[in-house]
Amino acid sequence: MSAIIGQFSHYVFDVPLKVPQKMPSTSGRHFLQIPGPTNVPDRILRAMDLPTIDHRGPAFSELALGVLDGIKTIFKTSEPVVIYGSSGTGAWEAALVNALSPGDRVLMFETGWFASLWREMATRLGLEVEFVPGDWRHGVDPSEVERLLLADSQHGTKAVLVVHNETSTGVTSRIPEIRAAIDRAGHPALFMVDTISSLASMDYRHDEWGVDVTVGGSQKGLMLPPGLGFNAVSAKAREAAKRSKFGKSYWAWSEIIQANKSGFWPYTPATNMLYGLREAINMLHEEGLEAVFARHARFAEATRRAVNAWGLELLCLQPLQYSNSLTAVLLREHDDADQLRATILENFDMSLGTGLGRLKGRVFRIGHLGDFNDLMLAGTLCGVQMGLEMQAIRHGDGVSAALDYLASTAPRRSSELVRA
Ligand SMILES: *Cc1c(COP(=O)(O)O)cnc(C)c1O
């Protein structure tokens, strides 16, 4: 009865206005603050809004050669980067079936949900996975890598597989230190890294860090819609691929790399996604990759300050492993993270990341990567704080803590002060 009165509350002044269950989201922008897919900038959407061209014609080959060259600068490699029309998961599979053979032993680490999914895929494909258990609050421990590889004196382990940025937990594993651990053990295993939620938002160097296969996806730091998967492939991985006994066709690197040399694919590629990728690469270089990384680091620090001032807990326990592309926030025992997310979506039209797997209901994740600026972060944190208020989750003033940090570290602040 009161609900019915509520709906007509503009006639009854002492009854509070009842907000409809699902607010029409036709006004203003939706805040897509999940850690991927991320907000696609208008500039990229416009760049994709072109006629689809003949994928065997000269205009296509010019587009493809430019993009295939440009994407290497993002992975920081001089090796080929294979681009698939696929999700990130497809690129995971491509990495495994090209470089390995059924029955091969691989070393993986339980850093969270995505590492667990990649492990499940490896198992289903017939690889023998040694899965190092983890608490979903720490990254890969390089000394553990060294210890396990030293113990493998027969070199039965064919690959070490690591998720760089564990998107389910906001924990980053330190790739150069893991490379150094493999080298200290003098072990010949291939090194494969999933950078799906770190590429183009956190420092990453395929060649310098001695990675053999780097797996990427289009819909996170690259600011594109979902739909492209990437494998950056070292000479050692291409050599290993020649001995691979997995059956494969669509994923096979060799035919694609061969066709790519003249700017083509063995099949119809995702032409309009490549227009978008060309624009994304241009945007990243206009800002400068180092500036892109610094921007993400600053947003991550502001977000952590908000979490601390709210009196909530960061899921990541090690400051050296804090992710710069997302923050996972742990609620207190009896507070429901999914209820909080639903309240924020219904009232403020903002999507936040859910708690995955064993973190369901306990954690929500704030994506602060891709096409994102200070006021978008401020709006995001305001939405979270209003949600905490509405859900009666005890909290301090995280927004003020973040705004103070953003104002005092604004990139152009120092030059303005000098002039004043
Ligand atoms: C998003 C993500 C994936 C899965 O990518 P899909 O495009 O959803 O298949 C895998 N690994 C990590 C680290 C991710 O963030």
pLDDT tens, position by position, 266-319: 999 999 999 999 999 999 999 999 999 999 999 999 999 999 999 999 999 999
Q: Compute the half-sphere exposure of residue 144: CA atoms within 13 Å on the CB side of its CA.
A: 17
Residue 24: band (very low, low, confident or very high) from pLDDT cuts 50, 70, 90:
low
Q: Whose CA is nearest to atom 4 of ligand 1?
A: 88
237 and 306 share one domain: no
Q: What is the pLDDT of residue 143?
A: 98
221 lines ligand 1 (CB under 6 A): no
- What is the amino acid identity at position 202? M
Q: Is residue 56 domain-shared with residue 167, that is, in the same domain? A: yes
Are both 51 and 188 inside the same structural domain?
yes
Cα atoms in the Cβ-side hemisphere of radius 13 Å centred on 271: 15
Helical residues (DSSP H) of 152-288, grouped into ranges: 175-184, 235-243, 253-260, 271-287
- Same domain (yes/no): 133, 265: yes
Same domain, 270 and 306: no
Query: Are residue 258 and residue 321 in the same domain, yes or no?
Result: no
Shared-domain flag, residues 277 and 329: no
In a domain, 405, yes or no: yes
- Ligand 1 contact via 163 beta carbon (within 6 Å): yes
In this prediction, residues 62-79 reach a mean pLDDT of 98
- Give me the amino acid identity at 377: L
pLDDT at 368 over 60: yes
Report the pLDDT value the prediction gives residue 411, as an integer from 0 to 100: 85
CA distance linking residue 298 with residue 377, whole number of Å: 11
Question: What SS3 state is found at 67?
Answer: helix
The region of weakest confidence among 27-31, 134-138, 282-286, 399-403 is 27-31
Answer whether 194 contacts ligand 1 (Cβ < 6 A). Answer: yes
Which of 237, 267, 285 is a domain's end point?
285
Does 278 share its domain with 296?
Answer: no
Does 275 reside within a domain?
yes
C-alpha of residue 9 to centroid of ligand 1, in Å: 46
Question: Of 254, 285, 316, which closes a domain?
Answer: 285
On the question of pLDDT at 8 being above 50, the answer is: no
Could you give the dihedral angle defined by the CA atoms of residues 38, 167, 356 and 377, in that order, rounded to the nearest 10 degrees? -50
Say yes or no: CB of residue 167 within 6 Å of ligand 1.
yes
Lowest mean pLDDT among 20-34, 48-62, 109-123, 393-407: 20-34
In a domain, 345, yes or no: yes
Residue 417 lies in a domain: no
In the chain, the number of structural domains is 2
Evaluate whether residue 4 is within a structural domain: no
* Cα–Cα distance, 225 to 227 (Å, whole number): 6
Ligand 1 atom with least separation from CA of 165: 13
pLDDT in the model for residue 118: 98
User: Considering the chain, what percentage of its residues have pLDDT values greater than 90?
Assistant: 91
Contact call for residues 34 and 367 (beta carbons, < 8 A): yes
- Can you give the CATH number for the domain in which 172 is found? 3.40.640.10
pLDDT above 70 covers what percent of the chain?
Answer: 92
For 77-87, letters b (16+ CB in 10 Å) and e give: bebbbbbbbbb
- What pLDDT is recorded for position 6? 42
In a domain, 21, yes or no: no
Report the predicted TM-score, pTM, of the whole model to 2 decimal places: 0.93
CATH number at residue 292: 3.90.1150.10
Identify the domain boundary among 268, 285, 302. Answer: 285
Q: What are the tens digits of pLDDT across the range 350-363?
A: 999 999 999 999 99
Do both 380 and 298 map to the same domain?
yes
Q: What is the pLDDT of residue 412?
A: 80
**Ligand 1 pocket check for 354: Cβ under 6 Å:** no
Domain for residue 25, yes or no? Answer: no
Query: Do 296 and 395 share a domain, yes or no?
Result: yes
Closest atom of ligand 1 to CA, residue 87: 7
For 371, the token pair is 């096409």
For residues 118 and 206, state if they share a domain.
yes
Q: Is the CB of 216 under 6 A from ligand 1?
A: no
* Ligand 1 pocket check for 379: Cβ under 6 Å: no
Q: Is the pLDDT of residue 11 over 50?
A: no
264 in the same domain as 333: no
Residue 24 lies in a domain: no
CA of 114 to the centre of ligand 1 (A): 7
Range(s) of the domain holding residue 234: 43-285
